[in-house]
């Protein structure tokens, strides 16, 4: 794999941004032009270069007179603004967090308004919260079509999902609905809600909404969860049985186990013994010299709306599909990545727990698809996922 940064997290995130270039989410030359300027592990350097790039691309569009050019530039600018925001969450009161998100959303909304069939933002009532969603139609005709619900994960947005696999699904005739629940970017910012484990509280209202749309074939609604969404999607499917299929890119069985595997044995012992103050001090000390840990904990506290590392990790204890996986009644594709540095072993455990409902597919470095969520290999991953969905839903 080409070295983009000597810092492992920066390397992965740069590859993630380059990976959406296939579907209008970035341009390779633009990203490479700043990659070598970003100081490895320096969060402010990351912000400064991506924010400058976003502003530059945005300012290049004077009007919508050249619709396609304006649309594509706005998509790229939105991606770069979202990238600029990525490492800022250690200081929740930082005014840049909301300002950048507004810039990103404004650019993205301008872009989807310029699509041949514009995307439509909707707010879906979810009981004690509302669910921001975007509906993308595959065709202007009124034929009810199979519809793919796309759910991002721990740190990604619904807007990213359009570039990750949404456009590829639209090309194959699927309607696409992206959405966010508590803990995810727009819901967190607008409603102050951290992650919940009961993801059926998010998915069921989305399915209800889709069933009321004439352009949706209610018998062929599928749900895809990306990264941390590889737990959220099957969790929802254990309780929401109207789903015709579920896809996990990649699969996750137990969040607590996945999130604590990188702790040192001494820190894990403190966590297991409930020694809260010692655990918090130990993690804070580790964050001072390990920027990978720093980002994961800072973002985790922000996304779960907790104040300390212990509170964040403790919130994940109940996030497990052990004993629930057998409640999933629909076919489920569980993807795995050969070189996953985050959740190694989890997809296979989920597939085994699902039993006959599971189709397990490991993507490898041979196809340049071995990284977590197969970033940089969107065409390969899209082929695996969407071919399976076409066969499973009978659309091919």
Q: Are strands 216-226 and 245-249 parallel, antiparallel or unpaired?
A: parallel
* DSSP code for 1: -
Q: How would residue 394 be classed by pLDDT, with cut points 50, 70 and 90? A: confident
Specify the range with the lowest mean pLDDT, choosing from 170-174, 182-186, 340-344, 380-384.
340-344
* Mean pLDDT of the region 53-70: 94
What percentage of the chain reaches a pLDDT higher than 90? Answer: 95
Query: pLDDT tens for residues 216-259?
Result: 999 999 999 999 999 999 999 999 999 999 999 999 999 999 99
* Residue that has been written with the tokens 């062929």 in this structure: 220
Q: Supply the pLDDT for residue 341.
A: 85
Res 62 pLDDT > 90: no
* Mean pLDDT of the region 134-141: 96
What is each CA distance from 329 to 82, 108, 319, 391, in whole angstroms? 36, 36, 20, 17
Q: Supply the pLDDT for residue 64.
A: 86
Domain range summary for the chain, segments of one domain joined by +: 1-114, 116-254+319-396, 257-315
Is the entire prediction scored with pTM above 0.95? yes
Q: Supply the pLDDT for residue 396.
A: 65
Whole-number average pLDDT of the chain: 96
Query: pLDDT tens for residues 257-271?
Result: 999 998 999 999 999
Q: Supply the pLDDT for residue 184.
A: 98
Burial tier of 59 (Cβ tally within 10 Å: 0-12, 13-18, 19+): exposed
Q: How far is CA 25 from the centre of its chain?
A: 14
Residue 130, strand partner residues: 125
Q: Which fold has domain 1-114?
A: de novo design (two linked rop proteins) (1.20.1440)
CATH number of 116-254+319-396: 3.40.50.1820
Report how far residue 315's alpha carbon sits from residue 214's, in angstroms, rounded to the nearest whole number.
Answer: 39
* Mean pLDDT of the region 373-383: 96
Q: Supply the pLDDT for residue 378.
A: 94
Question: Tokens representing 66?
Answer: 């050249």
| Helix/strand/coil for 74 | helix
What percentage of the chain reaches a pLDDT higher than 70? Answer: 99
Res 1 pLDDT > 90: no
* Mean pLDDT of the region 156-178: 98
């Amino acid at each position: 794999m080409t070295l983009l940064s000597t810092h492992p997290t920066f390397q992965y995130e740069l590859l993630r941004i380059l990976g959406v270039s296939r579907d209008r989410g970035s341009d390779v030359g633009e990203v490479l032009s700043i990659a070598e300027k970003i100081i490895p592990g320096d969060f402010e350097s990351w912000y400064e270069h991506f924010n400058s790039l976003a502003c530059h691309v945005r300012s290049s569009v004077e009007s919508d007179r050249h619709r396609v050019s304006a649309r594509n530039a706005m998509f790229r600018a939105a991606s770069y603004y979202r990238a600029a925001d990525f490492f800022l969450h250690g200081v929740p009161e930082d005014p840049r967090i909301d300002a950048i998100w507004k810039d990103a959303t404004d650019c993205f909304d301008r872009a989807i308004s310029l699509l041949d069939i514009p995307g439509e933002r909707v707010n879906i009532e979810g009981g004690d919260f509302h669910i921001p969603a975007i509906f993308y139609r595959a065709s202007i005709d009124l034929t009810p079509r199979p519809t793919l619900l796309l759910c991002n994960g721990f740190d990604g947005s619904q807007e990213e999902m359009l570039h990750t696999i949404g456009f590829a699904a639209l090309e194959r005739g699927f309607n696409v609905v992206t959405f966010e629940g508590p803990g995810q970017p727009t819901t967190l910012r607008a409603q102050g809600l951290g992650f919940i484990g009961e993801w059926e509280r998010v998915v069921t209202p989305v399915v209800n909404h889709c069933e009321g749309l004439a352009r949706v074939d209610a018998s062929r609604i599928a749900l895809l969860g990306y990264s941390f969404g590889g737990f959220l999607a099957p969790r929802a499917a254990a309780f929401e049985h109207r789903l015709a299929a579920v896809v996990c890119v990649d699969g996750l069985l137990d969040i607590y186990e996945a999130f604590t595997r990188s702790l040192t044995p001494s820190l894990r012992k403190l966590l297991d013994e409930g020694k809260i103050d010692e655990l918090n001090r130990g993690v804070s000390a580790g964050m001072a010299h390990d920027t990978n840990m720093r980002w994961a904990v800072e973002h985790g506290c922000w996304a779960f709306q907790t104040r300390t590392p212990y509170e964040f990790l403790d919130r994940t204890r109940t996030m497990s599909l052990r004993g629930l996986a057998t409640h999933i009644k629909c076919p489920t594709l569980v993807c795995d990545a050969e070189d996953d540095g985050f959740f190694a072993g989890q997809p296979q455990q989920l597939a085994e727990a699902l039993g006959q409902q599971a189709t397990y597919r490991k993507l490898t470095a041979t196809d340049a698809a071995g990284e977590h969520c197969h970033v940089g290999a969107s065409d390969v991953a899209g082929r695996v996922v969407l071919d399976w969905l076409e066969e499973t839903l009978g659309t091919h």
